[in-house]
Amino acid sequence: MQKALLLFILLGCSSLATAQNRYFVLFKDKAGSNFSLEKPSEYLSSRAIERRNKQNISISTNDLPVNQSYLEILKEGGAEVLFTSKWLNGAVIEIDKNDLNTVLGYDFVKGLEGEYSNGLEGPNARRKPNTKDYSYPVFFDAGASTDQLQMLGADVMQNQGFTGKGVLIGVFDSGFPNAPNLDVFQNLFNEDRVVETYDFVNQEENVFNDHYHGTHVLSCIAADLEGQMKGTAPGASFLLYTTENVFSETRMEEVNWLIAAERADSIGVDIISTSLGYSNFDGKEQDYTYSTLDGNTALITRAADLAASKGILVIASAGNEGNDPWKFITPPSDADSIISVAAVNSDGQYAAFSSLGPSVDGRIKPEVAAKGVATTIASPNNLIGAGNGTSYAAPLITGLAAGLRQAFPDLTAMELRDIILKSGSQAGQPDDKLGYGIPNFLRAYEMANIQSLISSTDENILVFPNPAENTDFIKVLIANEELGNSFELSLSNLSGQELYRETFKRNYFELPLLQEVRPTGTYLLKIWNENFSETKRIFIE
């Protein structure tokens, strides 16, 4: 896949070690921009534009790059511009604190999003107390990843040819050391399916010399070593971005995530997978509280929802805080338009360390679950081992989503999200541990087919197959959602004899072909409620 050539403003790559004062300055407008909504190809790839068009998402003002003249004025005033954000319309700068008031006095400056540490290791830094790593490298027999694929039906998905081919996934993590040299990734790199890499912490392209966590995570999706390990989407393409600084915990990492998401959007990413969460920081004054899990407060949460608004499916680990005093999900899992993922063991039972919901405003969180206990992973030392954590459950779901995206390329990201949730093992009774439960490819595949049927018809009711031959069921779909959600159904022969009657409270129903209707012939299927009544002829062959 050819790498997109886009406007990507990453300025000021001088030594981070000397950075002292970092601020996210917001602008009032994009007046006088060199770019326009009428020429999106100047700042979005054709793939990004196509994704929007398919989902009827308009190019909007927050897609426009920030005003270049504003950046020049900032630099003339002594600021070093590190990143720009088109979605929030601002820039991350480094400047002496004594000169900050001058910047805030510019007539185009709206104010500050925040002040940030540069995130380097120091005497007050703490090494990720809220991101636990339970990995333990061990040797496995061939096919150690089989059960985590089977749990989701991903083995069936791949047998049907859906490996995520053509789907672009952005993985945001702490680094991917030695990934190009690992056996499980040889197909990935030999086929040039790593489209781009970038380290937003150190501002460099190399992501293969950082922290091992991202390598573990990537293997859950992309591993492809026959007989030993397969990820859930071994045929997908990837953007590999380092946004997490493991040597400390600061809100700058949320900024890194935002900028990475904007970059991934511009290239044309389909899915963002992130096994990162933020609640506690160096310096307690910036810690989030449960009351801030409202889907609108944390910067990374807002960034995740903005990505979703561009037609990107965002999948995040729920967190490993279930046994801790915090115990709840961590941002960005509280975002309302993404999928947050809990962990279960090989028996599908809740893992005690998995973070709990709901969000503070009562939304179901996490949404789904996958194997996060003794999950098969690949390590930078070229061993296949195991690890515990929602960090590994989330990428397993990401691969499932990629296979479904390949199978149903016309679904919107929100339709795909909805289908994955509804395919969950406890979709009828979601809870604050596993949400809608463990999703399954075959259930999701059938639902996606139904969604496609609904989108392609103007009829109120669809009955199929019709004529029916060599089948034990006739499927009935109420395609018009305005008709309600509770229906009566009766099946009669042409003599008026009622052979079958049922009440159902959903828009999809499988009518068993009982012995009474086995004979070849024509029958009348009546469906009604207080809003409507309709009769269909069905033919049994």
Rounded to whole angstroms, the Cα distance separating 436 from 442 reads: 16
Assign 3-state DSSP to the chain and report helix, strand, coil percentages, each to 5. 30, 25, 50
Active site residues: 173, 213, 391
- The helix/strand/coil state of 165 is coil
Rounded to whole angstroms, the Cα distance separating 355 from 467 reads: 50
**What interhelical angle do 390-407 and 213-222 show, nearest 10?**
30
368: phi then psi, degrees, rounded to nearest 5: -140, 180
Q: What is the DSSP letter of 61?
A: G
Q: Which residue has the tokens 């959600």?
A: 485
Q: What sign for the dihedral angle of Cα 426, 167, 299, 201?
A: positive
The tokens for 267 are 């290239």
Report in angstroms the alpha-carbon separations of 524 from 489, 494, 538.
10, 7, 6
Rounded to whole angstroms, the Cα distance separating 435 from 294 reads: 17
Rounded to whole angstroms, the Cα distance separating 189 from 1 reads: 12
Rounded to whole angstroms, the Cα distance separating 389 from 372 reads: 5
Cβ contacts of 443 within 8 Å, gap of 6 or more: 153, 422, 423
Report in angstroms the alpha-carbon separations of 224 from 78, 218, 257.
50, 11, 28
Q: What is the DSSP letter of 273?
A: E
Peptide bond preceding 358: is omega within 30 degrees of 0, i.e. cis? yes
* Contact criterion met (CB below 8 Å) for 118 and 252: yes
Cβ contacts of 227 within 8 Å, gap of 6 or more: 142, 143
Rounded to whole angstroms, the Cα distance separating 470 from 271 reads: 40
Q: What is the CA radius of gyration of the chain?
A: 26
CA angle (372 as vertex; 369, 374 as ends), nearest 5 = 150
Nearest in space to 91 (alpha carbons), one of 99, 104, 48: 104
- The helix/strand/coil state of 408 is coil
User: If DSSP states are collapsed to H, E and C, what string results for 102-116?
Assistant: HHHCCCCEEEEEEEE
Q: What sign for the dihedral angle of Cα 505, 510, 511, 515?
A: negative
The tokens for 318 are 């729920």
Nearest in space to 243 (alpha carbons), one of 300, 278, 201, 202: 201
Rounded to whole angstroms, the Cα distance separating 299 from 303 reads: 6
